[in-house]
Amino acid sequence: MIALKTVLCPIDFSPATSRQIDLAADLCHAFDAKLVVHHNRHSLGSGANVGWMWNADHRADKQAALEQKVQECLACVTKGVPTESLLTEGPRSWSVLAAAETVNADLVVLTAHGRRAEDHASITELLLEDGRRAVLVLHEPDVEPRTPRFTAGTVERQIVVAPTDLTAGSHAALAVAFDLARTLPVDLHLLHLLPKKRLQRRQASDEETVTNLRALVPTDLDRRVAVHVGHDDPTHGIVRYAQQIAAACIVMGEHTRPPSRRWFSHGISRAVLHDAHCPVWYVPGRRSDSERAVRFPNVTDWAVRSPSAGGQRRTGGDTGVR
């Protein structure tokens, strides 16, 4: 079963914020998890001539205003979902990673704001490279017209695509996909793509691959899981198939230090993220603690955590979040 106890939702108050919180809260409702809504105030750099003066003069006012905006976002969350707010100040590119460590998040739900948004790209990169937790990345509404709804009250069943290269490295992502099918009203499609150049023996290859895919499906999900074999390069094939069946989400593994010929190389997993028209749920591969070690830069000692039950408590130390 998916161990989903805490979901971190970093927000920037852009038009995508409400949609992002809705999906994060929906998953918290389905898995009985806590939702932590986080915002980071990026201060002016110390290299600016009057940056330190601006921070000192406006710190209290900005803090109060941001706390109010975050609380307004929390007020829209479905009743019954435990919530908490987290406000911090520090480098944008490191903020979400530090926040995820602070609250021990199992899943981070964020929105990618396009290829040109370097801050957002670096945040996603850091989370994926860290490999400690799953990351669910949404896109802007103009790219992603539908918002997945996974709660039991949803009438329309959602389709989840789980690409697999049939190696042990993809088993973690498949396990998550199977658990989603068990817990939520979704139909799961397993996808494997064969290279286009293998034109000879195509029928035999297809049949063999279908058999291998079927062998991966747990018996309790036999009627809920479809398998598909295609002939395409991984990036285009995954995205195109997800579009063809109007998938609500793609669940794929984020392999660490992949072999040169592995399906889900660094470039492919990122390309799927940029080209997909639905959210992409990245499941981390196994990694040693030493490989996961992350050093955070020094940031301003300002963080406010506010449980929904009332009251506030401050956390000091090097905490940077976005």
The closest alpha carbon to 154, from 185, 187, 188, 189, belongs to 185
Domains, the chain: 6-145+294-314 (3.40.50.620), 158-278 (3.40.50.620)
d(CA 124, CA 133): 12
Task: Give percent helix, percent strand, percent coil of the chain, each to the nearest 5.
Answer: 40, 20, 40
- What is the per-residue pLDDT for 175? 93
- What is the per-residue pLDDT for 157? 78
Contacts of 47 (CB under 8 A, 6+ apart): none
CA distances to 24, 73, 79, 96, 314 from 225, rounded to whole Å, are 25, 36, 32, 34, 47
Structural contact between residues 77 and 49, judged by C-beta atoms closer than 8 angstroms: no
Largest CA distance in the chain: 72
In the 8-state DSSP scheme, what is residue 146?
A: -
What is the signed CA dihedral for 268, 269, 271, 277, rounded to 10 degrees? 130
Contacts of 249 (CB under 8 A, 6+ apart): 136, 148, 158, 160, 161, 278, 279, 280, 281
Amino acid of residue 119: D
Amino acid of residue 117: A
The closest alpha carbon to 192, from 244, 227, 221, belongs to 227
Where is 131: in which H helix or E strand? none
pTM: 0.80
d(CA 76, CA 60): 25
**pLDDT string in tens for the chain (322-residue length):** 678 999 999 998 888 898 999 999 999 998 999 999 999 886 444 333 333 333 444 455 577 788 888 888 888 887 889 999 998 888 777 888 889 999 999 999 998 875 444 455 568 778 887 778 899 999 887 778 777 877 755 557 789 999 998 888 888 899 999 999 998 888 999 999 987 765 555 455 788 899 999 999 999 999 889 999 998 888 889 999 999 999 999 999 864 444 434 444 556 777 888 889 999 999 987 554 444 444 444 444 344 455 554 333 333 333 333 3
Structural contact between residues 312 and 304, judged by C-beta atoms closer than 8 angstroms: yes
Q: Quote the Cα angle for 110-245-159, to 5°.
A: 55
In the 8-state DSSP scheme, what is residue 56?
A: H
Contacts of 172 (CB under 8 A, 6+ apart): 253, 283, 284, 285, 286
d(CA 161, CA 213): 13
Structural contact between residues 302 and 63, judged by C-beta atoms closer than 8 angstroms: yes
In the 8-state DSSP scheme, what is residue 168?
A: G
